[in-house]
């Protein structure tokens, strides 16, 4: 009996908290049928938002993959003073409110910021422009690749790399042929988490973007604008698309596991 009620409670919670919201979003988007929903997505500002989101996501994922691999390498292969402090610092973006992370960039690059005026004179626009959005997103999504790689690489130790070194492999050969392939599942998972997070980031981006429709609005910001302008169908269509993209990324994370299980069955 107790087992049964626990089961009901668990599923009840999951349906209420996890499954209901996306279902409601999709239902609202399709309220007037599929055609108006699709039409709202092809609005020029909507398309611009989708493009900007993809651009920002690609840039953040690239930047954080390169940084994440380097950081994880340094943090796991070497012992140096300040190592544990660095491990904690890497997680900072997870604990700081995204709004604060956005404000930091404004303080640095805004019109009244530290470096803003000088850069402005040089013709470089960061705040209320695409570079600012990218910086903010990179900052917020920085921990994911590092945090998924570090435990795995820690556990793998240095032996494989030392063996490669003695076999005559140089730094790049070791990185490409030994370290990264050995950690590929964790790396893949970290990259997809970063992707999902980068697409959905609202707080930090909202502060630095300036909400210029068609210019500096990413999908989440555009959804907010649409909603505040009582364009519910358009808002929910965009939201459904965004949720779908993020869910795809998260589902892909388990792909290696399925693949392995499938291979196992074949063998």
Partner 1 sequence: MSVQVEHLVRYAPGSTRRLLNDVSLDVPTGAFVALVGPSGAGKTTLLRAIAGLDTFEQGTLLLDGQTMGSMRDRARKIGFVFQNYALFPHMTVAKNIAFGLDVLPRSERPSRSAIAARVQELLDLMQIPDAGASYPARLSGGQRQRVALARALATGPKLLLLDEPFGALDPIVRRSIRTWLKALHERLGLTTILVTHDQDEAVEIADRIVVMQHGQIVQDATPEELNRNPQTAFVMEFLGEAPSFNGIVQDGLMVPDEAGLLPFAVDASVSPGPVTAMLRPYEIQVCSPDERSAQEPSLSLIPEGARNGYRHYRAQLAERSVPFSIPDCTENTVEIQASGFLDISRARLFRDGERCR
Residue closer to partner 1 (CB basis): 182 or 213: 182
The answer to whether 252 contacts partner 1 (rule: CB under 8 A) is no
- Residue 215: half-sphere exposure toward Cβ, Cα within 13 Å: 9
Q: Do the beta carbons of residue 60 and residue 194 sit within 8 Å?
A: yes
Stretch that binds partner 1, among 14-22, 68-76, 128-136, 155-163 (CB under 8 A): 155-163
The answer to whether 163 contacts partner 1 (rule: CB under 8 A) is yes
CB of 170 to partner 1, least distance (A): 7
Q: Do the beta carbons of residue 201 and residue 219 sit within 8 Å?
A: no
Quick count: other Cβ atoms within 10 Å of Cβ 93?
A: 19
Count of residues in contact with partner 1, rule CB under 8 A: 18
Residue closer to partner 1 (CB basis): 76 or 218: 76
Q: What angle do CA 6, 10, 11 make, to 5 degrees?
A: 120
Q: Do the beta carbons of residue 56 and residue 49 sit within 8 Å?
A: no
Q: Do the beta carbons of residue 116 and residue 110 sit within 8 Å?
A: yes
Quick count: other Cβ atoms within 10 Å of Cβ 253?
A: 18
The answer to whether 256 contacts partner 1 (rule: CB under 8 A) is no
CB of 254 to partner 1, least distance (A): 19
The answer to whether 69 contacts partner 1 (rule: CB under 8 A) is no
Stretch that binds partner 1, among 20-28, 166-174, 190-198, 215-223 (CB under 8 A): 166-174
Q: Contacting partner 1 (CB under 8 A), which of 1, 79, 155, 265?
A: 79
Tokens standing for 137? 């997103």
Q: What angle do CA 49, 214, 142 make, to 5 degrees?
A: 45
The answer to whether 74 contacts partner 1 (rule: CB under 8 A) is no
Tokens standing for 228? 């505040």
The answer to whether 173 contacts partner 1 (rule: CB under 8 A) is yes
Stretch that binds partner 1, among 31-39, 66-74, 158-166, 233-241 (CB under 8 A): 158-166
Stretch that binds partner 1, among 22-30, 62-70, 123-131, 167-175 (CB under 8 A): 167-175
Quick count: other Cβ atoms within 10 Å of Cβ 112?
A: 9
Interface contacts to partner 1, rule CB under 8 A: 79, 159-160, 162-170, 173, 177-178, 181-182, 184
């Amino acid at each position: 009996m107790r087992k049964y009620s626990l089961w009901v409670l668990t599923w009840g919670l999951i349906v209420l908290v996890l499954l209901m919201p996306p279902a409601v979003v999709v239902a609202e988007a399709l309220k007037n049928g599929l055609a108006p929903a699709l039409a709202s997505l092809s609005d020029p500002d909507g398309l611009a938002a989708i493009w900007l989101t993809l651009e920002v996501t690609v840039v953040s994922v690239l930047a954080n993959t390169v940084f994440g691999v380097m950081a994880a390498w340094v943090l796991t292969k070497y012992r140096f003073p300040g190592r544990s402090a660095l491990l904690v610092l890497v997680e900072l973006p997870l604990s700081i409110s995204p709004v604060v992370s956005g404000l930091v960039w404004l303080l640095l690059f805004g019109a009244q910021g530290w470096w803003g005026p000088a850069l402005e004179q040089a013709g470089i626009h960061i705040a209320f422009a695409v570079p600012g959005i990218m910086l903010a997103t990179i900052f917020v999504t920085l921990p994911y690749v590092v945090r998924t790689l570090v435990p795995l690489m820690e556990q793998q130790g240095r032996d494989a790399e030392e063996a490669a070194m003695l076999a005559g492999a140089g730094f790049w050969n070791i990185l490409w042929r030994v370290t990264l392939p050995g950690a590929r599942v964790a790396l893949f998972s970290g990259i997809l988490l970063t992707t999902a997070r980068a697409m959905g980031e609202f707080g930090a981006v909202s502060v630095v973007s300036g909400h210029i429709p068609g210019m500096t609005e990413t999908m989440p910001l555009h959804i907010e604008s649409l909603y505040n302008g009582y364009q519910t169908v358009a808002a929910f269509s965009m939201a459904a698309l965004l949720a779908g993209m993020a869910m795809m990324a998260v589902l892909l994370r388990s792909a290696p596991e399925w693949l392995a299980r499938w291979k196992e069955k074949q063998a």
